[in-house]
């Protein structure tokens, strides 16, 4: 009878427990969870704060009782594992609130401790009104503060997933919000120009966005009444300014919980997570680790990386249970596919972003498209702004990012599958995707991205990027083939000459033969037609990928 | 200077013309279209009739003038090609309305004539009030009839894509609708149990659904005033009954337009379409054909099939243009990915359905899942009912079908890509798809389907299907592990013994050791846990795939 002890009862730990029981009716399975809850919906916490999820109970997916009844798994909450004795194959458990300790023996141990919010050494973080959000009690504290302190203004520190979700949640509660982000962009999994669309929607919704700005200190203001006119906290910022606020949500990031593993002498990896093999085993073959605490090979490069995501955590938990009970398994690499709702927009990505590709020194090309989420003549269509990164030689998909109001999840899912299956961008135009006017287009967003990328690889389209247009060379000439009304109403790139596409064939004599023609339109489609026309007529032309819309995304400053 | 003549200016023809110009500025490109319009949104016609698409002009994607201006393509509408002289490489063109004829020479000819509505030899189809819907004039006639005749009741004949869309369009216009379908189900690309969900929503929306019912004759009723109380048409049905109606929409199906190709001696294929090679060439190397008129190899079997779909038509047009202008191309097989909106539901499929697999005699297994479209604790989640068909030996994906209110398109897209890329069902659980509560689940619908299929292939789950439960053997015993309240409120399978899953472990002595236990729950998840428990405890158990929900879909009769 195998005795399996699982440390941490959320996501990976809960998956492993249920899977282990399905494989073995006789295994002894114990889950030790230091918190009050197991298997709660941690991804749902901001949505309960914001009011989208009305019932707190909806977030409690399982209880110790339900786990016992259904899976005959012993779940002990308020049980914190504080040490591992690998030689004796036992863990030391401290039981809260009384602090009693006992030893629990194991045959197989699974560590699923998750990741903890990063809390830098900033003075004043222990002040009343400063919160982070990791679990149900954190959420309850924030909810209570909203009720009791009635903050008029809140400051969210950090523009990642949780930070952005909290900005929206607080905004929905009628609270004025400032978002501080130390980096020049929110949502670092995507590149800056994609993040700029999020910056715009944040500002449009009345959020005060302060990029390149960190928090240096929190100073409680004495004598300010609980729900009075003055702000209760003064924030000192890295920009040498101050900000008065009533509530601070720290969402700077998370770091893997490796204390226990490290103390037990388990090997940590290069990225700072617990090192595991393809069976999710640590350096001790009887100890497994899964979820946000471990590092796994990144899909494209195979390099170890931290990917604190729910999907991989659940998969890993299942695999660890399989392996403990004698099955052969092999965890596949992690693509890091992720999505976040930011007000009316969704932002999603898979694979590597351009920043990371550049830091790795990989050869790459990128293209942008902005097609409608479904047939543009059917109501409710919105552009999907998609960036596709690929190997310019063989067309291997390196990564993809998308932002839009509708259909973003679907396109990144399709590209994540194509990437995982090893399809090249040359094969994307042939994908047969569902089409009827309410759902897509005969040439879907992904097909169009594939056609553009294929054109680039085959040399049918030579492209340029916004950065280049900001510093035109002597022998370059910028042509905008949109209609004059568009330039006027939408904007234009300085120095561009305007010849509408439909007049281009008749006005070729206005274009210098001895210069390289850089062509732009609104989204890159007319520019492509113009470039083909120009090149077939003997000109040397390149098209701005994604057109003026991408140019705006690249050059906007918030 | 290559002279390209294109017969038919919609979808494939229009794509080919635009592509040819992008490849060659000097080619002479002529599009001959017998109708009034080129490149119109034929998929949008029902939505304009129903009122979703307000502006008729929104359906006109291109005009001869816009084609000329942008692509220097000569589009001649009302020009019908009536004969091909292959030896002389010329076509005979009849110009409407005056009927003049002339010869047009070609270097390369592209046939893109599309498919025509099937009009069986039923008496009375030429009566006032009987319509089919293929193009803008058809739509205009129906719109005019709705205005002038103010029909109170309409009958749609045929429950395919256009038929279902027209049912909804007419319903939206406040017209009472009867749908006649000769087959026992609507939407024949999916299997009957999936179609039953559509039957239900049709009935729920007040549509009178008559399956297994054909139209035998249309008899105009003399003396009924234009907008009076009586019905203007009497329909004689195959069921020996009559039906009084004011308007008939014929949507029985479409057949490839092969008359011209056939008369020219071009080879037709086994499925009745124009036969083409992988470069979209007909049996005459200077004549290409694309779109609804051709047959292409079906993805799984390679057998030729008719796939009248917009996506493939566009792809084929592009490829034909490429090949005409000297490029190497190879059309990949057609999966037949398709989707249709039916009131609040979407129905989508890719690959082979079970009916077709059976007729081919292929070995297969099928599984059903009904997970929520996104995290069930986040508002707006609806079940996605997914059927996955696969090779039970190697896990090859043979086909997939889904029905639901939300997220159906995404799941079939993901499976269509996985199928095209050659992934097996064993790899679906590892797909990394976008997850945040508003968009999906940590284990997405497709991951869950993959896990169930993998369980089946690996022998971790032995399943049974509803058909088997309708004829239980002597040594079979049916166990329902739902809670008693569910059986009462939702329904149950006759003869089932109810032991809730959470009591099962304690009540094993109530279960016969000498019989095969067939287990059911609501959607198959608890049944899986119960089966694992039973098998680990020494019982011989199989789980009803998709649970009682699938049983209801299979056994419902409309």
Q: Which among B43, B52, B410 is the nearest to A379, CB-wise? A: B52
What average pLDDT does this structure show over B162-175? 98
Q: Count Cβ atoms below 10 Å from residue A112 Cβ, excluding itself.
A: 30
- For residue B462, list chain A residues with Cβ-Cβ distance below 8 A: none
Nearest to A375 among B41, B315, B537 (CB): B41
β-strand partners of A275:
A295
- To test the contact with chain B by mutation, choose from A10, A296, A311 the residue with the greatest count of B C-beta atoms within 10 A, namely A311
Q: What is the nearest CA distance from B295 to chain A, expressed in angstroms?
A: 16
Distance CA B275, CA B266 (A): 8
Asked if B52 lies within 8 A of A25 by C-beta distance, the reply is no
What is the pLDDT at residue A318?
96
Instruction: Tell me how far CA of residue B34 lies from CA of A392, A432, A529, B82, in angstroms.
Output: 43, 29, 27, 10
Q: Which residue of B has its CA nearest to A307?
A: B432
Do the domains spanning A344-458 and A463-555 agree at the CATH topology level?
no
**Nearest by Cα to B158 from B182, B193, B128:** B182
- Distance of alpha carbon B388 from alpha carbon B471, whole angstroms: 24
Dist CA B168 CA A513 (whole Å): 57
What average pLDDT does range A32-53 have in this prediction? 95
CATH topology of domain B3-116+255-324: FAD/NAD(P)-binding domain (3.50.50)
Kindly report the average pLDDT of chain A as a whole number: 96
Task: Choose among B58, B420, B444: nearest Cβ to A431.
Answer: B420
| Spatial CA neighbour of A344 closest among A296, A404, A387, A434 | A404
Convert the pLDDT of each residue in A205-249 to its tens digit: 999 999 999 999 999 997 665 555 678 999 999 999 999 999 999
Query: Picking from A348-357, A452-461, B174-183, B226-235, which range would have the lowest pLDDT averaged per residue?
Result: B226-235
Chain B residues with CB-CB distance to A424 below 8 A: none
pLDDT at B230 over 80: no
- The runs of H, that is alpha helices, within B136-178 are 136-149, 161-172
Instruction: Band the pLDDT of A406: cuts 50, 70, 90.
Output: very high
- Mean pLDDT within A366-388: 97
The CATH fold assigned to A130-252 is FAD/NAD(P)-binding domain (3.50.50)
Catalytic annotation on A43? Answer: yes
Q: Look-up: residue for tokens 């009887």?
A: A286
Check CB contact under 8 Å for B43 and A435.
yes
Query: In chain A, what residues touch B543 (CB-CB under 8 Å)?
Result: none
Cβ count within 10 A of residue A473: 10
Q: Which of B43, B340, B464, B531 is catalytic?
A: B43
Asked whether the predicted pLDDT for residue A358 surpasses 60, the reply is yes
Q: What superfamily in CATH does domain A463-555 come from?
A: Rhodanese-like domain (3.40.250.10)
B413:A414 CB<8 A? yes
The answer to whether residue B127 scores a pLDDT higher than 80 is yes
User: Which residues of A fall within a CB distance of 8 Å from B334?
Assistant: 432
- Taking residues B57-72, report their average pLDDT: 95
CB-CB neighbors (< 8 A) of A421 in chain B: 417-418, 421-423
Subunit contact B339:A439, Cβ cutoff 8 A: yes
Closest CA–CA distance from residue B241 to any residue of chain A (Å): 35
Q: Are B531 and B543 in contact (CB under 8 A)?
A: yes
**Phi, psi of A285, rounded to the nearest 5 degrees:** -65, -15
Residue of A25, A378, A528 with shortest CB distance to B537: A25
Cβ pairs bridging A and B (under 8 Å):
235
* ipTM of model: 0.97
B11 neighbourhood in chain A, CB within 8 Å: 442
Out of 3.30.2350.10, 3.50.50.60, 3.40.50.300, 3.30.750.200, the CATH code matching A344-458 is 3.50.50.60
Tokens of B251: 């949507």
> CA nearest B460 in A: which residue?
A23
Q: Give residues with Cβ within 8 angstroms of A365, minimum separation 6.
A: A389, A390, A391, A392, A453, A456, A457, A463
B430 contacts A332? CB cut-off 8 A: yes
CA of A54 vs chain B CAs: smallest distance (Å) = 9
Angle between the A445-458 and A408-420 helix axes, to the nearest 10 degrees?
50
Using a cut of 0.80, tell me whether the model's pTM lies above it: yes
For chain B, domain boundaries: 3-116+255-324, 130-252, 344-458, 463-555
Q: Is B22 in contact with A528 (Cβ distance < 8 A)? A: yes
A412 CB neighbours in chain B (<8 A) are 434
Across the interface, whether the CB atoms of A434 and B348 are under 8 A apart is answered yes
Which residues in chain B touch residue A396, judged by CB atoms under 8 angstroms apart? none
Identify the pLDDT of residue B1: 84
Average pLDDT over residues B92-117: 97
B214-243: buried (b, 16+ CB within 10 Å) or exposed (e) per residue?
Answer: bbbebeeeeebeeeeeebbbbbbbeeeeeb
Q: Are strands B497-498 and B476-480 parallel, antiparallel or unpaired?
A: parallel
Asked if A409's CB is within 8 angstroms of B434's CB, the reply is: yes
Residue B185 has pLDDT above 70, yes or no: yes
What pLDDT does A229 receive?
A: 61
Helix residue ranges, H only, A220-349: 259-263, 310-324
Query: Taking 60 as the threshold, does the pLDDT of residue B228 lie above it?
Result: no
Catalytic residue among A43, A340, A521, A531: A43
- Contact A375/B422, CB-based, under 8 Å? no
Chain A: give the shortest CA distance to residue B58, in Å. Answer: 6
For range A98-111, the mean pLDDT: 97
DSSP B383: B
With CB atoms and an 8 Å threshold, state whether B435 touches A43: yes
CA-nearest residue of chain A to B504?
A: A70
pLDDT of B129-139, one tens digit each?
999 999 999 99
Q: Are the beta carbons of B43 and A447 separated by less than 8 Å?
A: no
The chain B residue lying nearest A448, using CA atoms, is B315
Burial of residue A143 (number of CB atoms within 10 Å: 0-12, 13-18, 19+): middle
Contact B161 A444 (CB under 8 A): no
Q: What is the pLDDT of residues B151-161, one digit of tens each?
A: 999 999 999 99
Choose the closest CB to A24 out of B432, B443, B536: B536
Mean pLDDT calculated for residue range B181-195 = 98
Mean pLDDT of chain B: 96
pLDDT single digits (tens) A508-530: 999 999 999 999 999 999 999 99
Mean pLDDT of B15-44: 95
Which one of A338, A339, A414 has the shortest CB-CB distance to B417? A414
In chain B, the residue whose alpha carbon lies closest to the alpha carbon of A311 is B442
Q: How many residues does chain A have?
A: 558
pLDDT in tens, A317-332: 999 999 999 999 999 9
Q: CB within 8 A of A119, min separation 6: which ones?
A: A125, A132, A250, A252
């Amino acid at each position: 009878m195998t005795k399996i002890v699982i440390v941490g009862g959320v996501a990976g730990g809960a998956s492993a427990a249920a899977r282990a029981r399905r494989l073995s009716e006789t295994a002894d399975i114990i889950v030790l969870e230091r918190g009050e809850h197991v298997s709660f919906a941690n991804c749902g916490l901001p949505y309960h704060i914001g009011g989208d999820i009305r019932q707190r109970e909806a977030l409690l997916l399982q209880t110790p009782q339900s786990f016992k009844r259904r899976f005959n798994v012993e779940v002990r909450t308020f049980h914190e594992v504080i040490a591992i004795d690998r030689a004796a194959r036992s863990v030391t458990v401290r039981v809260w609130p009384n602090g009693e300790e006992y030893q629990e023996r194991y045959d197989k141990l699974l560590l699923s401790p998750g990741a903890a919010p990063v809390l830098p050494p900033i003075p004043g973080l222990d002040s009343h009104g400063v919160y982070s959000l990791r679990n149900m009690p954190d959420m309850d504290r924030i909810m209570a503060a909203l009720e009791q302190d009635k903050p008029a203004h809140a400051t969210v520190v950090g523009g990642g997933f949780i930070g952005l979700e909290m900005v929206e949640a607080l905004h929905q509660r009628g609270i004025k919000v400032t978002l501080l982000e130390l980096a020049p962009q929110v949502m670092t999994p995507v590149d800056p120009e994609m993040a700029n669309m999020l910056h715009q929607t944040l500002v449009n919704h009345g959020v005060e966005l302060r990029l390149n700005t960190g928090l240096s200190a929190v100073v409680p203001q004495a004598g300010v009444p609980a729900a009075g006119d003055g702000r209760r906290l003064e924030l000192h910022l890295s920009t040498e300014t101050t900000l008065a606020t009533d509530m601070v949500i720290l969402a700077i990031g998370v770091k893997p919980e490796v204390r226990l593993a490290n103390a037990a002498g388990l090997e940590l990896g290069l990225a700072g997570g617990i090192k595991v093999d393809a069976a999710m085993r640590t350096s001790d073959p009887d100890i497994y680790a899964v979820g946000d605490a471990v590092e796994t090979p990144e899909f494209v490069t195979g390099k170890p990386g931290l990917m604190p995501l729910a999907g991989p955590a659940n998969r890993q938990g299942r695999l660890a249970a399989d392996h403990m009970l004698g099955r052969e398994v092999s965890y596949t690499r992690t693509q890091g596919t992720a999505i976040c709702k930011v007000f009316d927009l969704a932002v999603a990505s898979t694979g590597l972003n351009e920043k990371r590709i550049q830091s790795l020194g990989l050869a790459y090309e990128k293209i942008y498209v902005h097609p409608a989420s479904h047939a543009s003549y059917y109501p409710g269509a919105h552009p999907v702004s998609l960036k596709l990164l690929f190997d310019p030689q063989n067309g291997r998909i390196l990564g993809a990012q998308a932002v839009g109001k509708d259909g973003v999840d679907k396109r990144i899912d399709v590209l994540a599958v194509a990437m995982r299956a090893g399809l090249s961008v040359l094969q994307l135009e042939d994908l047969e995707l569902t089409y009827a006017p309410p759902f897509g287009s005969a040439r879907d967003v992904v097909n169009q991205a594939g056609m553009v990328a294929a054109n680039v690889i085959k040399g049918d389209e030579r492209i340029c990027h916004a950065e280049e247009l900001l510093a035109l060379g002597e022998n370059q000439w910028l042509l905008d083939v949109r209609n004059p009304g568009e330039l006027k109403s939408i904007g234009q790139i300085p120095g561009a000459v305007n010849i509408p596409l439909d007049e281009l064939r008749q006005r070729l004599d206005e274009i210098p033969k001895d210069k390289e023609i850089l062509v732009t339109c609104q989204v890159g489609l007319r520019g492509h037609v113009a470039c083909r026309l120009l090149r077939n007529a003997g000109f040397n032309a390149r098209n701005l990928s994604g057109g003026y819309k991408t140019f705006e995304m690249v050059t906007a400053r918030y």
